[in-house]
Structure 1
Amino acid sequence: MHPKEERTLIVIKPDGVQRTLIGEIIKRYERVGLKLVAIKMLVPTDEHIEKHYTLDPDWRRVTGEKTIASYIKKGETPWTTDPLEVTNVVLKNLKTFMTSGPVIAMIWEGAHAVEIGRKITGGTEPRSSDVGTIRGDFVLDSYMMSDGDKRAVRNLVHASGSPKEAEMEIAHWFNKDEIVEYRLIQEQILYDVNLDGILE
């Protein structure tokens, strides 16, 4: 597979839809040169969201360990030292949040799509995300606020974390016949070795 054919899953979460940021978010991925090859609006079920987050068999353990470590780093005591117990709470909050309203699921294609998608999206916690990223520019939520409210952090967008993860997530959210194969005119300037035909 040529690098320009890499794909990533981007999901605009319920807060992004409710804050009418759909167009602004899409524009961020589009203007860097990624190509939108699939898009749909849906209200996910609990089962769909649970499967999404647990496609990686290590997700529960890793998420629990990272959450516990973040508490310790902040000088706080986690309510438990059992990673799976922590993840059960995290997953419950994610399901509540992600099923609270419609989401926009999208597949973006292009060179380094996963890495670029993550860079544009920003870090998981909006408060510490860089200015210029979607989360850094449009959200003021933080782990402190979400933990205090016992809810998932509201960070507008999900972006696949690796090409392998993207492949699994895309298969979970889309059927093959929902993905459109086409060429954009701009792909010539992005990818063609020789820029023939630009000058008349």
Structure 2
Amino acid sequence: MFKNATLGSSESDRTMSHPERTFLAVKPDGVQRGLVNEVLRRFEQRGYKLIGLKMLIFYCCLIDIFVGCDYASSCSFKSFFENDAVDEFSSNARDERTLVVVKPDGVQRGLIHQVLRRFEQRGFKLVSLKMLMANDDLLNKHYAEHVGKGFFPSLKAYMSSGPVVAMVWEGRDVVKAARNILGATRPLESAPGTLRGDFCIDVGRNLVHGSDSVESAKREIALWFKPEELCKWEQSTHSWIYES
């Protein structure tokens, strides 16, 4: 869901006093074809502000939004953002999952689509996605090994300074691949072509988090997502990405 961006002069004054919001849904064909990043790119580059984001399996009570509403409550975007209905689809036993979090600097700079693009183009499957404000409890648990260290207060202040976008990716060796896609923790040590190598300079503003092991990924995903928020679906391109 997007809110109108700042415009020029008198039009800006008018729109800021009466901001508009619009609802967008990337349909299954867009998800299957790896085009979620393209939808976000058009809006981020235009300057619109993202204020809500969520991945879910389409379920019957949402059909009225697309084909017509018989009652008022069915035509609200809240139907999408306040329900957790998820259908069961099979998932390949050989696949791993990893957590990737676009940090506040990445959201503010309109780089969410860049993160999505690298993973979609590589062929990994997106199984969950949401926008949120990370609270103290979540950050204390996520960064438990850093609690008490000198840099922890500034790290927590940074991570709670604005919204973040958390996502779960699935695929073979996705934990290692994700670390390679993100680049080194210190951006100046990151190779060109990685996210941090292309978009970051300072380690204190390094754009994105990625789980560093399969075990860490399991722990972190459980912290950031409820089980019912993880969408299980069949990737139509699976046999064209993996030999077996």
Superposition deviation, residue 191 in structure 1: 2.5
Aligned residues: 153
Superposition deviation, residue 2 in structure 1: 3.1
**Unaligned segments of structure 1, at least 5 residues:** 61-83, 143-152, 194-200
SS of the equivalent of 1:96 reads helix
Letter in 2 for 1:24: Q
Q: In the alignment, what sits opposite 1:76? A: none
SS of the equivalent of 1:30 reads helix
Superposed CA RMSD: 1.4
Superposition deviation, residue 103 in structure 1: 0.2
Trace 1:31-180 onto structure 2 (pairs within 5 A): 31-54=121-144, 59-60=145-146, 87=149, 89-142=150-203, 153-180=204-231
Superposition deviation, residue 156 in structure 1: 0.5
Match of 1:23 among 109, 113, 116: 113
What's the TM-score once normalised by structure 2's chain length? 0.60
SS of the equivalent of 2:134 reads coil
Please give the alpha-carbon distance, in whole angstroms, between the structure 2 residues aligned to 1:28 and 1:12: 13
Please give the alpha-carbon distance, in whole angstroms, between the structure 1 residues aligned to 2:97 and 2:155: 24
Does the 8 Å contact 1:8/1:114 carry over to 2? Answer: yes
Give deviations 1:109-138, integer Å, cap 9, x for gaps. 000010000000000011111111000001
Does the 8 Å contact 1:50/1:91 carry over to 2? Answer: no
**Unaligned segments of structure 2, at least 5 residues:** 1-91
Superposition deviation, residue 14 in structure 1: 0.2
Does the 8 Å contact 1:10/1:105 carry over to 2? Answer: yes
Please give the alpha-carbon distance, in whole angstroms, between the structure 1 residues aligned to 2:177 and 2:189: 18
SS of the equivalent of 1:37 reads strand
| Percent identical residues | 44
Give deviations 1:66-87, integer Å, cap 9, x for gaps. xxxxxxxxxxxxxxxxxx86x2
Please give the alpha-carbon distance, in whole angstroms, between the structure 2 residues aligned to 1:2 and 1:33: 17
Q: Which runs of 4 or more aligned residues in structure 1 lie more than 2 Å from their structure 2 counterparts after TM superposition?
A: none
Give deviations 1:27-52, integer Å, cap 9, x for gaps. 01111111100000001112211110
Please give the alpha-carbon distance, in whole angstroms, between the structure 1 residues aligned to 2:136 and 2:155: 9
Please give the alpha-carbon distance, in whole angstroms, between the structure 2 residues aligned to 1:35 and 1:159: 15
Superposition deviation, residue 108 in structure 1: 0.2
What's the TM-score once normalised by structure 1's chain length? 0.73
| Higher RCO (C-alpha under 8 Å, 6+ residues apart) | 1
Superposition deviation, residue 192 in structure 1: 4.8
